[in-house]
Amino acid sequence: MPTAFITGITGQDGAYLAKFLLGKGYHVIGMIRRSASSDVIGERLRWLDVLDKVTLVDGNLTDLSSLIRLLQEHKPEEVYNLAAQSFVATSWQQPLVTGNVTGLGVVNMLEAVRIALPEARFYQASSSEMFGKVQAVPQSETTPFYPRSPYAAAKLYGHWMTVNYRESFGLHASSGILFNHESPLRGIEFVTRRITDGVARIKLGLKDRLTLGNTAAKRDWGHAGDYVEAMWLMLQQDAADDYVIATGRTASVEEFCRLSFAAAGLAMDDYIHTDPALLRPAEVELLLGDPGKAARVLGWKPRVSLEELAAEMVAADLKRLSR
């Protein structure tokens, strides 16, 4: 039974990855930060019915000693670094925390692998936000980066350090440049869940409008459950490399709204309200990924359509709120 070590296991991607790896016969070790909210920290794992099937251990990306200790103790064959301060809007308010966790935290994890377990295969969760003010459409592995937020800049540092450790120390270290990927487990602060939760509340008579910021921004949205398979496939390759993971389809926030309202049998235009206070200081207007390399080398392709994704998220929020 192979062992996988996942940081950020209680997040959306970590939960889906844990379920996927358990299905492959892995022993899954998940690192969590010590929290006073430990009674609810595993809710996403519980939603997927895997909380009692994984081993949770205490550690922190900002504490190198804890990372080395955990790798020495559990000796995983695969290490997936998914933990981060991952909300873009918060990164302007907490740029130092974002830099320490989302940027330097990656180097701590890489250094722990290099020191304690250099034969392990390492995955870094990079982000399409690194493309920022896009220099080409669509964006591929060779498109220049132009980050537009502290989050994106921190992710870019972690991305290039992963490349550096691969080239300097021979680590099997790969980065997945993942475009937006959503699910019923997405945090309520993210725009897709803000939309589907709002639609569900309107449908149930709990509120009468949905307030959003920039509805013209376009993103390439896929399903997190599809994207974690790509993470695993990267670590099964003989050589480590970097891959764009995307659907190749872009849609505006407004279009995602329309699909979500339609899934609930509602007309969007009756309920949308825009608030300039929700606009970003520097907006990323268009993201559209080219997943051609992932298709050719990994044999990966997305399965869930945008329409299916929106409908699944609305149905999950209706179920939550109906309780």
Annotated catalytic sites, by residue? 127, 129, 151
Helix axes 253-263, 191-203, angle to 10 degrees: 30
The answer to whether 272 and 257 are in contact (CB under 8 A) is yes
